Amino acid sequence: MLHPFDPGYVAEPFLTLCSDYPDATVYPADQFRVEWGPIFHRGRLDGSARVLVIGQDPAQHETVIRRILVGEAGRRVQGLLAKLGITESYVCINTYLYSVYGSVKAATARKPELVGYRNRWFEALFESRNIEVVFALGQAADAAWQAFRATPQGQAVQVSYAAVTHPTQPESSAAGDKTKLADATKKLLRNWNAGLQAVHPGLTHPDTPTPPVLYGDTWAVGDRVPIPERDYPAGLPAWMRENDGWATRSGPDALAKRRNITIKVTRGVVT
Ligand code: URA
């Protein structure tokens, strides 16, 4: 059985972007988990992407895998792309290279070095001129897009754009309350339906032409879509690719949690 994989950062300008990136002098260690390193992207870097997704920041599964949006948020995004008929031709970057610790100060988010480096990624991705649709997940991602749009290179880009609710906003806002979660999920899915309808006419090269089939009020079977094996680095075991929940930040206090990511092979894999 063949296992397709993502060869990584093999060509310019990505070689340079991944060897010369902002460190803790730009991303302060009291606001970002810089100790775990930057995590750059997921998806196509060969110019074939038709849709660009802007996420927020990597969490623990992304930290282990070194690709972004590989957990629950990623599966939801994969489902959003599938509703547009996009199964291969996408690329994702995050607003922030490093995992957010606590919250990000407005002055940090606006730092020219932080914004400028991210804009270099946008410029690199738009070099092909093939991207037709951009989704921003959440407010920070929307601000990242607006900052790029304010540059001469950003002004030259012509795409259909939708700023949508972040995929795990319902869980974050509900804080364990089931009624709040159902309510927030319904709102998110309505918001995503509006986003899909807004960008659908602008996508002229889907992988599989698909009439827009919208979301209902709750997640339905098929709304969460597996992340393709070819998005992952070579040799990643199936249990890491097919589920999340195998990496946790654990420890008796905030500092211990920050220092630790525990990986546990999914139940049933080793018997
Ligand atoms: N993981 C990411 O890489 N980005 C997000 O926005 C959420 C989860």
Measured from the Cα of 61, ligand 1's closest atom is 1
pLDDT average, residue stretch 68-97: 98
Task: Check residue 212 and give its pLDDT.
Answer: 78
7, 18 in Cβ contact below 8 A?
no
Task: Check residue 172 and give its pLDDT.
Answer: 95
Distance 55 CA to ligand 1 centre (A): 5
Of the pLDDT bands very low, low, confident and very high (cuts 50, 70, 90), residue 211 is: confident
Residue entry with tokens 């049933």? 268
Whether the bond into 252 is cis, omega within 30 of 0: no
Measured from the Cα of 72, ligand 1's closest atom is 8
- Residue pLDDT, tens place only, 129-152: 999 999 999 999 999 999 999 999
- What proportion of the chain, given as a percentage, has pLDDT over 70? 100
Measured from the Cα of 94, ligand 1's closest atom is 4
Distance 7 CA to ligand 1 centre (A): 21
DSSP for 129-189, please give it.
Answer: S---EEEEESHHHHHHHHHHHTSHHHHT---EEEEE--TTHHHHHHTT-HHHHHHHHHHHH
DSSP for 72-128, please give it.
Answer: HHHHHHHHHHHHTT-SSSEEEEES-SS-B-S---HHHHT-HHHHHHHHHHHHHHHTT
Q: Quote the CA–CA distance of 145 and 164 in Å, as a whole number.
A: 12
192, 223 in Cβ contact below 8 A?
no
Distance 154 CA to ligand 1 centre (A): 23
Mutate which of 39, 67, 69, 104 to test ligand 1's pocket (most atoms within 8 Å of Cβ)?
Answer: 69
Chain mean pLDDT for the chain: 97
* pTM (predicted TM-score): 0.97
Contact residues of ligand 1, CB 6 A cut-off = 55-59, 62, 68-69, 71, 73, 94, 137
Measured from the Cα of 42, ligand 1's closest atom is 3
| 55 sits in which H/E element | strand 51-55
Residue entry with tokens 């009020």? 217
Structural domains in the chain, CATH included, are 14-215 (3.40.470), 235-271 (no CATH)
